[in-house]
Amino acid sequence: MLQSEDLALNGVLKTVAHRFGDHRGFFQETYSHRAYAAMGIDVTFVQDNHSLSAATGTIRGLHFQTPPHAQAKLVRCGRGAIFDVAVDIRLGSPTYGRWAGYTLSAENGVQLYIPVGFAHGFATLEPDSEIIYKCSDYYAPETEGALRWDDPDIGIAWPLTSAPVLSEKDAAAPLLAGFNSPFTFEG
């Protein structure tokens, strides 16, 4: 049974599937097209990605792909814990430039559905955290985009205890101010 919760950003959804546990561990169905379609999310996922971040405080993001290869994502944490963030970048949206963040962990089994039109990023809260996510379109490097993880206009309250571990690309990403978003809110 899949439970869902609408979040502060229109279209972003937090889900938790029931876990069946015993002395051996647990079983959890992490994705069912039928269950998500029943909630109004009729997306076809075409690619699964799996990343490992060794150090606590690693930030990846804020990433997105532009049309015609824009991606919706379904994100979960397979090991460790992350603070997962979605930023609304749909022009005309009442929540444009706002963010929402949630703790996803191997222990809590929470997943985050992030629709097209949102930038996505995360910070690791534990060492050796593994992130597994489904994408609704294939990776297309020519459509990659990013926004600065520490943009003051977005104002994400990252739960960091030390300086973040960043890629050069993420450290140099542009700010939201002056960003010409290719996404439009369709309310």
Tell me which residues are annotated as active site: 63, 133
Q: Which residue has the tokens 């490097």?
A: 141
The neighbour count for residue 33, using CB atoms within 10 Å, is 12
> Radius of gyration over alpha carbons of the chain, in Å?
16
Q: How far apart are CA 59 and CA 163, in angstroms?
A: 10
Q: Are 112 and 16 in contact (CB under 8 A)?
A: no
Q: How far apart are CA 85 and CA 143, in angstroms?
A: 20
